[in-house]
A = this chain, B = another copy of it.
Amino acid sequence: MTQVSPTRSWVDSANGHADFPLQNLPLGVFSPAGQSPRSGVAIGDRIFDLQAALDAGLFDGAAGEAILAMRDGQLNAFFELGRGARVALREQLLNLLREGSPRRDEIQAQGEKLLHLAENCQMHLPAKINDYTDFYVGIEHAQNVGKLFRPDNPLLPNYKYVPIGYHGRASTVRPSGTDVRRPKGQTLPAGQTEPTFGPCARLDYELELGIWIAKGNTLGEPIAIGDAAEHIAGFCLLNDWSARDIQAWEYQPLGPFLSKSFLTSVSPWVVTAEALEPFRRAQPARPEGDPQPLPYLLDKRDQAAGAFDIELEVLLLTEAMREQKLPAHRLTLSNTQYMYWTVAQMVAHHSVNGCQLQAGDLFGSGTLSGPQSGQFGSLLEITEGGKKPIELASGEVRKFLEDGDEIILRARCSREGVVSIGFGECRGKILSAR
* Chain A contacts to B: CB under 8 angstroms: 130-131, 136, 146, 149-150, 156-158, 161-162, 164-172, 174, 181, 183-186, 188, 193-195, 197, 219-222, 243, 246, 249-259, 261-263, 291, 294-296, 349-350, 352-358, 361, 434
Contact = CB atoms under 8 A, between A and B. Distances in A.
Given A193-B157, A253-B255, A296-B197, A355 B181 contact: no
A158 B256 CA distance: 13
Contacts of A251: 253
26 contacts: A130-B170, A131-B170, A131-B171, A136-B254, A157-B188, A161-B186, A162-B195, A162-B250, A164-B250, A164-B253, A167-B167, A167-B169, A167-B261, A169-B355, A171-B355, A171-B361, A181-B220, A184-B222, A184-B353, A185-B352, A194-B291, A251-B253, A258-B349, A258-B352, A258-B353, A258-B355
Contacts of A219: 172, 174, 181, 263
A257 B167 contact: yes
Given A171-B357, A258-B349, 15 more contacts: A130-B130, A131-B171, A136-B254, A146-B253, A149-B253, A158-B249, A158-B250, A162-B250, A164-B250, A165-B254, A167-B168, A181-B219, A181-B220, A195-B294, A197-B294
Given A158-B195, A170-B131, A294-B197, A354 B183 contact: yes
Contacts of A352: 184-185, 258
Contacts of A158: 186, 188, 195, 249-250, 252
Contacts of A165: 254, 257
A195 B146 CA distance: 21
Contacts of A259: 353
A358 B169 CA distance: 12
Contact of A172 (B185, B221, B250, B355): B355
Contacts of A258: 349-350, 352-353, 355
B171 A130 contact: yes
B355 A164 contact: no
A397 B301 CA distance: 46
A252 B353 contact: no
